[in-house]
Amino acid sequence: MRLLGAVLAGGRSSRFGSDKAQAMLAGRTLLDHAVASIAPHVESVVICGREGGLADRPAPDMGPLGGLNAALHHAAARGYDAVLTTGCDVPVYPEGLAGALIGDGAAVLKGQQLAGFWPVSLAAELDAHLAEENNRSIYGWLERIGARIVERPEFVLPNINRPEDLERLILKP
């Protein structure tokens, strides 16, 4: 199975107060950590939703679904079977997580819905979803497609929404 990795990085970082993708952790940006952590699990990695990467589809400011949609279409056009995603604020992608997510249909990690597995066959469905009147919530999308929610406590990922979340991660022994 050909897998494309996608780092969803188009958020506004409103709770963080600055571009959290560029926040530093151990001498590297969170975005660099996210790319490096998902890379061993996929054939190649794209960054979605920011300059130099894939533009959100169908338009900017679509939230994580705009980045996912761009990744799905990019993957489909290049012969990939599916996309593995992570957020730009998730500096780790544990060994075994990809295997837990990959299956017959879409799946996400409970509590970290940006860590997901998305067959490229969902591209047209996501186009339709984003064209409709809705709040573009990832939860609404998951419900619409009947995504599998993976509950695996060993895959607790850091949730960095505010500067103090990053500080706690840095200070963790």
Domain total in the chain? 1
* Predicted local distance difference test score (pLDDT) of residue 39: 98
pLDDT of 158 reads 85
Q: Residue 63 has what pLDDT? A: 86
Structural domain boundaries, residue 128: 3-171
Helix, strand or coil, per DSSP, at residue 44:
strand
pLDDT in tens, the chain (173 residues): 999 999 999 876 777 777 888 889 889 999 999 999 999 999 999 999 998 999 999 998 888 999 999 999 999 999 999 999 999 999 999 999 999 999 999 999 999 999 999 999 999 999 999 999 887 889 999 999 999 999 998 888 887 888 888 888 775 54
Annotated binding site, which residues? 8-10, 20, 61, 89
Query: What pTM, to 2 d.p., does this model score?
Result: 0.92
| Amino acid occupying residue 79 | G
Whole-number Å distance between alpha carbons of 172 and 22: 20
Numbered residues of the known binding site for GTP:
8-10, 20, 61, 89
What pLDDT score does 7 carry?
Answer: 97
Helix or strand or coil: residue 53? coil
pLDDT the model gives residue 60: 87
pLDDT at 172 (0 to 100): 59
Q: Which residues are annotated as a binding site for Mg(2+)?
A: 89
Separation between Cα atoms, residue 75 and residue 139, nearest integer Å: 23
Cβ atoms within 10 Å, residue 12: 10
Any idea what the CATH number is for the domain that residue 36 is in? 3.90.550.10
